[in-house]
Amino acid sequence: MTLPIDSMYRDIIIDHYKRPQHHGLPDDFDAEMHHVNPTCGDEVTLRVRVADGTVKDLGWVGEGCSISQASTSVLTDQVIGQSVGDALKTVAAFTEMVSSRGTVEGDEDVIGDGIAFAGVAKYPARVKCALLGWMAFKDAVAQASEETPDERHRSA
């Protein structure tokens, strides 16, 4: 028995789940955000540092299914180093694809490994899993952009 060809589970997803990128919470950050999916209990906490209009650093911890955890890992690979404007465009493109019920293919040049989550769009119950970390990042960036440098957190 093998998984069907249109299985939601791509190797990329499993790889990110097993070897999550930028895992752990950095000590130097501007904003921290914690999001929970109340229907399944999945959670992600992430910290972001923004300077000169650029996402300088992003780290995270979380618990949950492979979809929520791997998609957060993919997020970090994509947006670290991007300008805040480009990062939010990346988030918008990923959100559009997974929310499209399969009508939007997704652009690998914009969302990178995020393209592997195209199959999630067919499972409405799992869309929130895929977006968990991305929505937390969006809120964290908004919060970080509001704060002045003097309000920076430095727990180190």
Site of interaction with another protein (CB under 8 A): 1-4, 7-9, 14, 17-18, 40-42, 63-67, 123, 126, 129
Q: Which of 134, 132, 104, 108 is nearest to 119 (CA)?
A: 104
* Nearest distance from C-beta of residue 100 to another protein, angstroms: 19
Name the residue nearer to another protein (CB basis): 22 or 122: 122
* Nearest distance from C-beta of residue 1 to another protein, angstroms: 5
Name the residue nearer to another protein (CB basis): 14 or 25: 14
* Nearest distance from C-beta of residue 63 to another protein, angstroms: 7
* Nearest distance from C-beta of residue 3 to another protein, angstroms: 6
Name the residue nearer to another protein (CB basis): 10 or 152: 10
Q: Are 64 and 81 in contact, with CB atoms under 8 Å apart?
A: no
Q: Are 34 and 45 in contact, with CB atoms under 8 Å apart?
A: yes
Name the residue nearer to another protein (CB basis): 2 or 148: 2
89, containing H or E segment: helix 84-98
Buried-exposed string 110-141: b where 16+ CB fall within 10 A, e elsewhere: bbbbbbbbbbbbeeeebbbbbbbbbbbbbebb
Residues 31, 62, 72, CA angle at the centre, nearest 5°?
75
* Nearest distance from C-beta of residue 41 to another protein, angstroms: 5
Name the residue nearer to another protein (CB basis): 18 or 34: 18
